[in-house]
A and B are shown apart, each in its own frame.
Chain A
């Protein structure tokens, strides 16, 4: 059974701080990794994807991948109240469906 694990939270950070969201996965053969943001009552929105070990930066967001440890993380710098949402980690191999974690709820206080 392929699994993706996330701490459900809530993770609470003050405005302007760095939020760190973590995800582990069980399938060592996984090749593609995604972070989605989901506001309450809305559908998931793709934030970032990463395929290679290391860091990938996009604006205030940085995805980090460590395949040896089967670990992927998302850092949000200068967190804003509008970043308050549930963040879903998803993992896949080419030709297979995305497997999602349950999500981590982030709360940014002003």
Chain B
């Protein structure tokens, strides 16, 4: 049973560029959430997708956007990258939006230079 998979695992971008991160949820899970984890901090909620719609959003600017596809996979897009966007981006999946047990992928390490 494949868990949550994310790609790419590491990437380096330049300030002002755009990045797309991808996530495939755990089998049987239809809800995908994205979190940003800066060094030494806990994960911060970016947004959640269910039935191809953004259902909840954390305190992140519009530069952060996403999408969910019919097969439940998801993308996170960040435009106009800032140095402060350097972080581990975590995708988490769950069965439904009830907020119960969620499982994280291995994450995508983004470095903005």
Contacts and interface: CB of A to CB of B under 8 A. Distances in A.
Nearest to B47: A97
Contacts of A100: 35, 42-44
A25 to B, nearest CB: 12
B105 interface: yes
A95 B102 contact: no
B90 A44 contact: yes
B33 interface: yes
B58 interface: yes
A94 interface: yes
A99 interface: yes
Interface in B88-113: 88, 90, 92, 97-107
Interface residues of B, number: 25
Contacts of A94: 98-100
Contacts of A46: 101-103
Nearest to A103: B42
A47 to B, nearest CB: 11
Contact of A43 (B33, B45, B98, B105): B105
Contacts of B106: 42-43
A92 interface: yes
Contacts of B48: 97
Interface of A: 4, 32, 34, 36, 42-46, 49, 88, 90, 92-103
Q: Which 3 A-B pairs have the closest CB atoms?
A: A100-B42, A97-B45, A92-B99
